[in-house]
Amino acid sequence: MEAIYVLWLRELKRYTRSRAQIAASLGQPLLYLLALGYGLSPVFRRSGEGSYLQFIAPGVIAMTVLFSSLFSGIQLIWDRQFGFLKETLVAPVPRLSIMIGRTCGAATTALIQGLLVALVSVIAGFRPVSGLGVPLAFVFLVLIAVTFTAVGTTVGSTLRDMQGFQMVMNFLVLPIFFLSGALYPLDHLPVFLTVLTALDPLTYGVDGLRGALIARLHFGWTIDLAVMGGLAVAVTVVGAWRFSRIEI
């Protein structure tokens, strides 16, 4: 447990030490909130859907957590190349504890970034329909963070160089985000797009988050929680297995 706590604390310190990183993590979400939230709001309102800022804010919050979680795998490759990972792995600590500590730290960092964007969204004009949904929204944020941090750990444990990781992440990140329904409603989509969105794990996280914050659900609480919870467990197990076989 001590090793898990130390590695968790180390990941948090990496993020909080850099003010530039904190500011950079808010840049893209702000662009989506302001440019799309306000720019497309008149069109969205005329279609009878209400405020687009209200609709898009949960998706942008989920996007922030997704990006931060997945790219946490870069740090794993970085540590491997510069020898820190070797020093960690030769310590008399189970690799599972190391993996759990790193995953918890990276997931917490992603969660902090998501909460910062949520605060910015409120300042920009977003309002949850009920305070009772905020704790449930937090649960979905945690599930998104853990799931995709474990994915980043799995990829980072498999690859050895930054270039390969960037290619894989770019192949994963954009399709996962754009097919999640973060930017558009999931109703009345073409059949092929309906199938693709249903296969996207982030879809259920965004749907649950949106349901908790603005009471707009597509799949339902049971399906969203079951899919995200099951994925979080399954991907964490796979990530732990890949990390246990990592070569240094």
Type of residue found at 43: V
pLDDT in tens, 5-16: 555 566 666 655
Q: Where are the domains of the chain?
A: 2-244
Q: Cα separations (Å) of 199 from 105, 180, 181? A: 28, 9, 12
Question: DSSP for the chain?
Answer: -HHHHHHHHHHHHHHHH-HHHHHHHHHHHHHIIIIIHHHSHHHHHHTT---HHHHHHHHHHHHHHHHHHHTHHHHHHHHHHTTHHHHHHTSSS-HHHHHHHHHHHHHHHHHHHHHHHHHHHHHHT---S-GGGHHHHHHHHHHHHHHHHHHHHHHHHH--SHHHHHHHHHHHHHHHHHTTTSSS-STT--HHHHHHHHH-HHHHHHHHHHHHHHS--SS-HHHHHHHHHHHHHHHHHHHHHHHHT---
| Residue-wise pLDDT tens digits, 208-225 | 999 999 988 989 889 999
Q: Are 58 and 136 in contact (CB under 8 A)?
A: no
Instruction: Answer whether residue 189 shows pLDDT above 80.
Output: yes
Q: Residue 153: which residues within 8 A CB-CB, separation 6 or more?
A: 72, 73, 76, 99, 102, 103, 106, 239, 242, 243
- Rounded mean pLDDT of the chain? 81
* pLDDT band for position 61 (cuts 50, 70, 90): very high
Position with higher pLDDT, 224 vs 246: 224
Binned at pLDDT 50, 70 and 90, residue 207 comes out as very high
Quote the pTM value.
0.87
Q: How many whole angstroms from its chain centre is CA 194?
A: 22
Least confident of 34-38, 64-68, 84-88: 84-88
The span from the CA of 62 to the CA of 166, in Å, is: 20
Name the burial class of residue 77, with classes exposed (0-12), middle (13-18) and buried (19+) by CB atoms within 10 angstroms of its CB.
Answer: buried
Check if the beta carbon of residue 214 is closer than 8 Å to that of residue 55: yes
